[in-house]
Amino acid sequence: MSSSTEPRWYQGVSRYQWIVLIIASAGWVFDAFEGQLFNVTRNQMLVDILQQPAGSPEVRYWGDVLLGAFLIGGTLGGILFGWLGDRWGRRPVMALTILFYSVFTGLTYFATELWHVAALRFLVAMGVGGEWAVAASLVAEVMPQHARAHMSGIFHSTSILGAWFAAWVGLAVGDNWRVAFLVGVAPALLVLWVRSRVREPESWEQARKQAAEGHTIRLGSFRELLADPRWRGRAWAGMLLAAIGLGTFWGVTVAGQDIAREFLLRSGVDAAAAGERAKFAFGNVEAIGAGIGMFAFGPLAVLLGRKYAFALYHIGALIIVPATCYLPGSYGTLLALLPVYGFFTWGLHAGYAVYFPELFPHHLRSTGTGFCFNGGRLAASSMLLLSGWLKAMPGMDLRHAITFMSLAFALGLVVLWFMPETKGKPLPE
């Protein structure tokens, strides 16, 4: 119970700090939008480029290949731009990453070959991965300590708006997928706002000054991040924690749509109708629960501590995944469970924006945050391959495969055991 002298999380937050949250969140909203835009348009895009029917092996294969290119690009971009965020500053690098994902998304309008799409998705992902690392660090550094967890949680939670925006744009353009990618140029205008309103955090300015004066610190040093015992364990453990969340996102969370579709097919619904209703179940019903789960992480992290909040979500996911797979006796019951499914399996992602910036000092914060989150993307690719292999096995019940993949959340509990608690502590110097 908080004492009467402790301010509420939103008290004492200045106008400028709210502006930083809005700008960082807008960048992350469009970040998520650019990432999801391909998912909602890729079938028609690949049908047009490959001249193959929807659902053909070539369309499915190249869809996975292009997703792989996106994961690799996000990993490299997140690590590169995270490092540059410590070297050059938060403001210029955040502006650069927004330009990256906006311009290269827009250029997809002109793609006529598969290698065009692969190269552009790789470059878009570099901007997407980099923007999160820099913006998460900026929000953590600018906010007062009592508001930091709430504000960081809100920042990451806004990604759900980007996912919805991508879905709406996909519906609006129909088969004309090129127009959807032209819409992706719009976030470039956000760069003007970043350049005019965002100031470098005082903590980073102080670290830059110390480095320039010959102190022992080096801005964005990977050697220090991975060799210094104070930060090395945090970096690797954070990467594993992110890999579990990102791997289960593709193997478990997104599979909520497949669970709904398979249930409807078993109930006698024809394939076309089952597909459309499953899209609604995932993109609206499950996503609502995900949004609530992400917004809830900040308050829970303040109440329980960062590690216990993560543990709650991992335990909740271990329970809700098999329950959603096996318990529903009606489609209504399944729709009632899917928001809880999204709350735990998807909602925990907001914790990365709350927790990772609190693990590293000012001169390594963006580098360390980018290493954890985007290094986790690369590690998650192995889980993606395992998920695809399991689901493609002859005779494998989809529910069995998804439940097996959800056991990764138990590994997350083991990783958390070795990580520090940062609740109530100032950011490392």
Question: Which sequence spans correspond to the domains of the chain?
Answer: 12-200, 221-429
Q: Residue 215: which pLDDT band, with cuts at 50, 70 and 90?
A: low
Return the CATH fold of 12-200. Growth Hormone; Chain: A; (1.20.1250)
- Give yes or no for a contact between 279 and 429, defined as CB atoms under 8 angstroms apart: no
* pLDDT tens-digit map of 225-274: 999 999 999 999 999 999 999 989 888 998 888 899 889 999 999 888 88
- Counting residues of the chain whose pLDDT is more than 70, the rounded percentage is 97
The pTM score is: 0.88
CATH superfamily of 221-429: MFS general substrate transporter like domains (1.20.1250.20)
Q: How many CA atoms lie within 13 A of 208 on its CB side?
A: 13
Closest CA to 321 of 343, 291, 295: 343
Checking if the pLDDT of 1 tops 70, the result is: no
pLDDT at 58 over 90: no
Segment 177-186, tens digit of pLDDT:
899 899 989 8
Q: Round to the nearest angstrom and report the end-to-end CA distance of the chain.
A: 29
Please state, in angstroms and rounded to a whole number, the distance separating the CA atoms of residues 198 and 91.
6
- Answer yes or no: are the C-beta atoms of 242 and 376 closer than 8 Å: yes
Check: CB of residue 155 under 8 Å from CB of residue 28.
Answer: yes
Instruction: Please indicate whether the domains covering 12-200 and 221-429 agree at the CATH topology level.
Output: yes
Q: How many residues does the chain have?
A: 429
Of the ranges 47-61, 192-206, 230-244, which is most confident? Answer: 230-244
Q: Nearest-CA neighbor of 24 among 174, 149, 133?
A: 133
